[in-house]
Amino acid sequence: MSTPSGKLFHRIETSRNLPTLPHILVKLIEVCDTESDTIKEISEVINKDISLSARLMRLVNSAYYGLPNRVNSIDQVVILLGTNAVKNIAISASVYQAFNKAKDSSVFRLKQFWWHSLMCANLAKRIAEKTAYTAPEEAFLSGLLHDIGKLVLWVNFSKKYADILQSSRDKPDLLLAGEIRLGATHCEVGAWMINRWNLQSFMADAVLYHHEPVHRILDALPLVKIVFVANALCSEAIEDTDAKFKTAEEIFEFARSEVEELISLAEAEVKEVAESLGIEVEPPDASGSSISEKDAEKQEDLVLAVRDISLLQGTLQNLLEAHGEESILKVIKQGLQVLFDACSVLFFLYDRERDMLVGKGSMGSSQDILVKELVIPVQGKRSLLAKSLSRRAPLDSFGHLAKADLSIADDQIIHLIGKDGMLCLPMVAHKQFVGVIVIGIDEAQASNLSKGIKLLAMFTDQAALAVNAENVRQTQARLIQSERLTASSAVAKKVAHEVSNPLGIIKNYLKLLGLKLSKDSPAQEEIRIINEEIDRVSVIIRELSDFSQPRVQQKELVDINTLISDFIRITHESLLLRSSIKTNLDLEPSLPTLVTDKNGLKQVFVNLIKNAVEAMPEGGNLNINTRLTPNGLRKFEKDAIGDQTYVEITISDDGSGIPDSIKSRLFEPFVSSKGEGHSGLGLSIAYSIIRELNGTMTCESEQASGTTFKIVLPTGK
230 has a pLDDT exceeding 50 = yes
**Per-residue pLDDT at 29:** 66
Of 503, 525, 545, the residue at which a domain comes to its end is 545
635 has a pLDDT exceeding 50 = no
Quickly state the pLDDT bin for 508 (edges 50, 70, 90): confident
Q: Which tens digit of pLDDT belongs to each residue from 344-361?
A: 889 999 998 889 999 986
Residues 329/358, Cβ–Cβ less than 8 Å: no
Residues counted in the chain: 717
Kindly state whether residues 81 and 126 are assigned to the same domain.
no
Q: Which tens digit of pLDDT belongs to each residue from 34-87?
A: 655 567 777 877 777 766 777 777 777 776 666 777 877 888 877 777 777 777
**Per-residue pLDDT at 636:** 33
User: What CA–CA distance (Å, rounded) separates 81 from 88?
Assistant: 10
Q: Is 649 helix (H, G, I), strand (E, B) or coil?
A: strand
Average the pLDDT over 511-529 and give the result.
85
Report the amino acid identity of residue 540. Answer: I
107 has a pLDDT exceeding 60 = yes
Kindly state whether residues 355 and 371 are assigned to the same domain.
yes
Q: Tell me, what DSSP letter sits at residue 279?
A: -
188 has a pLDDT exceeding 60 = yes
Kindly state whether residues 680 and 564 are assigned to the same domain.
yes
292 has a pLDDT exceeding 50 = no
- Is 229 part of a structural domain of the chain? yes
pLDDT averaged over the chain? 79
- The enclosing domain of 681 has a CATH number of 3.30.565.10
Strands (E), 406-488: 421-429, 432-441
552 has a pLDDT exceeding 60 = no
Separation in Å, CA 491 to CA 151, 291, 398, 534, 552: 82, 81, 62, 21, 20
Residue 599's domain comprises 555-714
For residue 191, the tally of other CB atoms under 10 A from its CB is 26
Kindly state whether residues 242 and 216 are assigned to the same domain.
yes
What is the chain's alpha carbon radius of gyration, rounded to the nearest angstrom?
Answer: 40
Residues 370/416, Cβ–Cβ less than 8 Å: yes
Kindly state whether residues 503 and 585 are assigned to the same domain.
no
Q: Which tens digit of pLDDT belongs to each residue from 582-622?
A: 899 999 998 999 998 887 888 888 889 888 888 888 888 99
521 has a pLDDT exceeding 60 = yes
Separation in Å, CA 257 to CA 249, 270, 393, 404, 461: 11, 20, 46, 41, 53
216-229: string of b/e by CB count within 10 Å (b at 16+)? ebeebebbbbbbbb
Kindly state whether residues 129 and 68 are assigned to the same domain.
no
Q: Which is more confidently placed, 545 or 461? A: 461
Quickly state the pLDDT bin for 28 (edges 50, 70, 90): low
Q: Tell me, what DSSP letter sits at residue 401?
A: S
Of 442, 471, 500, the residue at which a domain comes to its end is 471
**Per-residue pLDDT at 649:** 95
Separation in Å, CA 2 to CA 165, 180, 188: 19, 8, 9
Kindly state whether residues 660 and 608 are assigned to the same domain.
yes
Q: Tell me, what DSSP letter sits at residue 577?
A: I
Average the pLDDT over 614-642 and give the result.
68
Domain count, the chain: 5
Residue 196 CB partners (closer than 8 Å, separation 6+): none
Kindly state whether residues 415 and 442 are assigned to the same domain.
yes
Q: Is 42 helix (H, G, I), strand (E, B) or coil?
A: helix
Residues 620/654, Cβ–Cβ less than 8 Å: yes
Kindly state whether residues 321 and 349 are assigned to the same domain.
yes
- The enclosing domain of 239 has a CATH number of 1.10.3210.10
User: What CA–CA distance (Å, rounded) separates 545 from 541?
Assistant: 7
Quickly state the pLDDT bin for 306 (edges 50, 70, 90): very low
Q: Is 437 helix (H, G, I), strand (E, B) or coil?
A: strand
Q: Which tens digit of pLDDT belongs to each residue from 436-468?
A: 999 998 877 777 777 778 778 888 988 899 899
What pTM does this model have? 0.40
- Is 659 part of a structural domain of the chain? yes
- Is 573 part of a structural domain of the chain? yes
Quickly state the pLDDT bin for 478 (edges 50, 70, 90): confident
The backbone torsions φ and ψ at residue 605, rounded to the nearest 5 degrees and listed phi first, read: -65, -40
- Is 264 part of a structural domain of the chain? yes
Kindly state whether residues 399 and 344 are assigned to the same domain.
yes
- Is 4 part of a structural domain of the chain? no
- Is 356 part of a structural domain of the chain? yes
Q: Which is more confidently placed, 526 or 670? A: 526
Q: Which tens digit of pLDDT belongs to each residue from 152-162?
A: 888 888 888 88
Quickly state the pLDDT bin for 275 (edges 50, 70, 90): confident
- Is 342 part of a structural domain of the chain? yes
The backbone torsions φ and ψ at residue 469, rounded to the nearest 5 degrees and listed phi first, read: -60, -40
Nearest to 472 by CA among 432, 437, 417: 432
Kindly state whether residues 538 and 625 are assigned to the same domain.
no
- Is 317 part of a structural domain of the chain? yes
